[in-house]
Amino acid sequence: MPNELRIALVQTDLIWKDKEANLINFDEQISSLENIDLIILPELFNTAFCIDDMSLAENEFGDTIQWMQQISQQKNSAICGSILFVEDDLYYNRFLFVKPDGNFSHYNKHHLFSLVGEDKLLTKGKEKIVVNYKEWNIQPFVCYDLRFPAWCQNDDDTDLQLYVANWPAKRIHHWKNLLQARAIENQCYVAGVNRIGKDNYDNNHTGYSAVYDFTGKNIAVIDNVAGTEIVKLSKAELKNHRERYPFWKDRDTFEKS
């Protein structure tokens, strides 16, 4: 039904620089999913957050996109997440949204994480996008973008914002509070998918992949375990809330750069 969207959050540990092992792991996580509209994977789900090894970057004909297209077709579900991507000799942290017909849209991470030099290694994305899928307007963001409300402001009548991340445990309270804030201020559903486990920099990740509704209510969460969570979203309930509380009409306009 166009009024409903069934999404699956997929949270797991990520194996450093091992695409084959990570994709096999996601195969196992996804295999039991049925009647899902959208499968959401973490940031850099095929390699973990190793942004300094450009040999890991893929183009549109790479193995990871082909894997995503295969899963999407098999499950008759869109699938999304970010990977290290190369295009015209430039490197991006690129969010891919793949549909069952094989077509895909992309968003390049805008706020590159300067604390670890991501801004020196990768190219900054310049544009937001909205993916129209099953009559839902879906807007993707990547990790550090979450901290910047002006960039994430819902100027596009978005129904669902997606945030994929490798967000460390030592700042997990920021992740929780910022996801909730984006849902409240943008009056839309917000889904955030994080990873668990330690990376090669000894950063620990404790998950807390979650969904918040348009009022900021937490309606689903995965704590520090590998697993999937299926959540049904209602566009009718979202529409009724926006009509009852049209706060969005009074928002500011910003020039984004």
- The residue from 43, 58, 118, 229 that is catalytic is 43
**Partners of residue 206 on adjacent β-strands:** 196
Phi, psi at 71, each rounded to 5°: -60, -45
- The residue from 19, 99, 109, 128 that is catalytic is 109
What is the C-alpha to C-alpha distance for residues 102 and 100, in angstroms, rounded to an integer? 5
The DSSP element (H or E) to which 74 belongs, if any, is helix 63-75
Torsion of CA 132, 134, 137, 138, to 10 degrees: -90
What is the C-alpha to C-alpha distance for residues 123 and 165, in angstroms, rounded to an integer? 18
43 catalytic residue (yes or no): yes
- Residues with Cβ within 8 Å of 1's Cβ and at least 6 positions away in sequence, in order, are none
- The residue from 75, 128, 143, 235 that is catalytic is 143
109 catalytic residue (yes or no): yes
What residues act catalytically?
43, 109, 143
